[in-house]
Structure 1
Amino acid sequence: MTNQVRSPMAVTWSVWRALFLREALDRLFDMRAAWFWLLMEPVLHISFITFIFTVIRLRTVGGIDVTIWLVVGLLSFFMFRRTSVQVMHAADSNKPLFAYRQVHPFDTAIARASLEAFLMTLVAAVILTGVALLGHEVRPDDPLQVFIAVFGLWLFGVGYGLIASVLMALVRETEHILKIIMMPLYLISGVIMPISAIPQPFREMLLFNPLVHGLEFVRQGFSSYYHMVPGVSLEYLYVWGVVSLFLGLLLYRRFTQQLVMK
């Protein structure tokens, strides 16, 4: 009997599928009720901030329901943040697998990024269903725009995570700086504070942040009545996403040995 030789693409696809299933089992069953905490993190964020907005009696933001504004913004930001964090630690968490010549650092990164997109989609569906049961309108007016904007945020998260992973491999202390950066991003991306409420010229400065553009378009996709901040652009988000992704791939290729041996 002759052995059938598989193409490189077939081998790569098999590796990605195996890594995806491995990461899924690890994320959901690594500790007790891991799947519960995967859902509860965004739920707690949404509940707390919604409570604050209720106390100050704010009912609408930019012309739409404040609950929808918060839920959509937080879920979109979590798509970026969780993806970037998972990709950032992909190579470091899977070093034993690099003993197999078929497995490369980028394989672990793409598997984690794909899994995070899948899990966040499930989390978003559950949360939006709960919000709908509370009487809020959650059906997007433009589902395609929502998808394109969320995909752009995910793409930027992958690129950010790839670059950060290499920086951590070269200079370990970079991890602390990257963790510190994530908190200001939460505050200056329009997640819990409307960018429209920021006076000029500071608003123009915040528009250099590509996450602002993604969140604004997701919200506008959910409600055509939403008043987006002037100057936002999906093209700007995708430029950041594509450039960061290619830069991350170049760095992965250049510093593969450091990623495997760190």
Structure 2
Amino acid sequence: MTARVRTPFEVTVSVWRAMFLREALDRLFEARAAWLWLLIEPIIYIALHAFGLETFRIHQVGGIAINMWIIAGFIGLLLWRRTWTQVLHGIDCNWAFFAYRQVKPLDVAIVRAVLELFLMIPIAVVLVVIAIVTGHAITPDLLNPVWLPRDPLMVIVSLIGLWLLGLGFGLVTSVAMRFVRELDHIFKIIYLPLFYISGALFPISIFVPVPYQYIFSANPIVNGLELVRLGFMPDYRTIPGISLGYLYAWALGLIFAGLALYRRFSRKLVMR
């Protein structure tokens, strides 16, 4: 009796499942309490910046209480940044697996991006729950507080757009870094400025004059973060020029460009 030959789709699914389990174990248990640090990082950033802005008597931005404004933006930025960095370093971290012809560089990128999405969902829920339990509403109005996002669909669609943007950016930059290794140092340098120029922790509508806000709205990350906040509170006053279509145009454009690059340089990506 001959053994059944698996289809290419079945082989791909098996590879994805095995790599997903391995990556999940590495991310959650590679170091002592590694899973806890995934949650502690955003809590520290949010608490420090909320305290800093409140010392300048900034208690709300665009109609959203400052704590929830930071939480909404930071969740989106963290999803984008972690997805990007995981895809960016996916090839280097899984070099040994390319000895198996079933494993392709694109498999690593997809699995790492999906894992990041799965990890960020509980982190986002826990952050919002902690804020609600500690008495932080979305609106600063104590007489008529809003505790949960008014438009959950907008929040979800915007976060998915940021995740796709991180995946696409990771695909393109990972190929670039294979040819120019020094780019990794540049990417590490821009991590911190991104927190501020993306509007995650820095209220563009307050600190940037209106005639110059359009420069920031050209950044697709800013569009995603502002749309997440708009989902939290439909009355939120965003900066001019924000568009969901613009976010997805960037995300899908980068993904298609990344897929083309992975196909064009498929052999060079796995060569030392």
- TM interval, shorter chain, is over 0.9
Q: Which runs of 5+ in 1 are unaligned?
A: none
Tell me the equivalent position of 1:209: 219
Tell me the equivalent position of 1:70: 70
Between stretches 235-244 and 57-66, larger displacement belongs to 57-66
TM superposition shift of 1:141: 0.6
Which of 223, 228, 244 aligns to 1:234? It is: 244
How many residues get paired?
Answer: 262
TM superposition shift of 1:208: 1.1
Between stretches 94-103 and 195-204, larger displacement belongs to 195-204
Amino acid at match of 1:139: L
Distance 2:9 2:109 in 1: 17
Map Cα deviations across residues 95-142 of structure 1 (whole Å, 9 max, x no partner). 100111110001011110000001011111111111110112341111
8 Å contact 2:11–2:102 — kept in the other structure? yes
Distance 1:259 1:39 in 2: 33
Tell me the equivalent position of 2:125: 125
Distance 1:217 1:112 in 2: 25
Alignment of 1:1-262 (within 5 A): 1-137=1-137, 138-197=147-206, 198-262=208-272
Amino-acid identity (%): 51
Map Cα deviations across residues 3-29 of structure 1 (whole Å, 9 max, x no partner). 111211111111111111100000011
8 Å contact 1:92–1:259 — kept in the other structure? no
Distance 1:227 1:204 in 2: 15
Q: Report runs of 4+ in structure 1 exceeding 6 Å deviation.
A: none
Distance 1:142 1:206 in 2: 24
Between stretches 2-11 and 41-50, larger displacement belongs to 2-11
Map Cα deviations across residues 75-109 of structure 1 (whole Å, 9 max, x no partner). 11000000000000001110100111110001011
TM-score normalized by the length of structure 1: 0.97
> Secondary structure at the residue paired with 1:256?
coil
CA RMSD of aligned residues (A): 1.1
Distance 2:193 2:136 in 1: 30
TM superposition shift of 1:202: 2.3
8 Å contact 2:229–2:236 — kept in the other structure? yes
TM-score normalized by the length of structure 2: 0.93
